Amino acid sequence: MSVDVHYTVDGPEDAPVVVLSGSLGSNLGMWDPQMAGLTGDFRVVRYDIRGHGGSPVPPGPYSMADLGSDVVRLMDRLKVRRAHFAGLSLGGMTGMWLGAHAPERIDRLALLCTSPLLGTPEAWAERAGLVRAEGPAAVAPGVVGRWFTPAYAEREPDTVALFAEMIADTPAEGYAGCCDAIGRMDLRPDLPAITAPTLVVGGFDDPSTPPDQAELIAASIPDSRLEIVPDAAHLASWEQATVVNELLIEHFGK
Ligand SMILES: O=C(O)CC1=CCC(=O)O1
């Protein structure tokens, strides 16, 4: 069952729409470094994943179909028939689901630092249980340790601390419900059915969804292009914003 997620819209009214979808534990502010670059040519819709930021927090477990249906519902609310879609990590998983299950709504797809099958159901059940018991603050230090390279974390400790706070502020049931969705997910059979031209971006130093995941996705989606970004961990869109923005603008501008 879909929900009305919290969203913002920026950019020219008549421009092609790009929907941005973030990672587990984020809010739509994680896309701030993309806004100046993308809003010149695109109408950018950012939203908080259900259970995150300003969106409703229905009781979990959630599924990828829930997360994908929230995007279709948002596009219906905005009267957007087709859009480009970029998602990072959990957002990319949502993008893969949309590309396969709602192809008529997706123009071009960008899948950043993501995976079609991530970890084990047991590990995600354990993370969900810990978060339901103690809140996302219990996992925040470990998670941000994977989002940025050690060099960036040393240079920008205040930024890393802000991201840890963002994760800790995520509603526990929302975070855990999304862990449930990832633990039950296997999107590998969906990938060959994706017809949207797809940009696949990996972070060379990403310990969460390493480059071999990006390679697997690109090898499985017929019309795809693979880019591995150096000096980037899981949040490549933040740490290497200029490079990622150029890739997105080129891909969506075609
Ligand atoms: O939180 C992590 O470990 C990495 C991650 C998995 C899905 C997502 O969005 O981030």
pLDDT digits (tens, 9 = 90+) for 9-18: 999 999 999 9
Averaged pLDDT for residues 64-82: 98
Binning pLDDT at 50, 70 and 90, where does residue 179 land? very high
What order do you get walking across the sheet with 83-88 strand by strand? 7-10, 43-47, 17-21, 83-88, 106-112, 198-203, 224-229
Per-residue pLDDT at 170: 98
Which ipTM did the prediction report?
0.96
pLDDT digits (tens, 9 = 90+) for 118-135: 999 999 999 999 999 999
pLDDT at 254 over 80: no
CA of 118 to the centre of ligand 1 (A): 9
Domains and CATH numbers, the chain: 7-117+186-253 (3.40.50.1820)
Q: What is the mean pLDDT of the chain?
A: 98
* Ligand 1, pocket-test mutation among 27, 50, 143, most atoms within 8 A of CB: 143
pLDDT at 104 over 90: yes
Q: Whose CA is nearest to atom 2 of ligand 1?
A: 143
CB environment 13-46: b (16+ within 10 A), e (fewer): eeebbbbbbbbbbbbbebbebbbebbbeebbbbb
Q: Whose CA is nearest to atom 1 of ligand 1?
A: 143
Averaged pLDDT for residues 59-77: 98
Q: Is the pTM of this model over 0.95?
A: yes
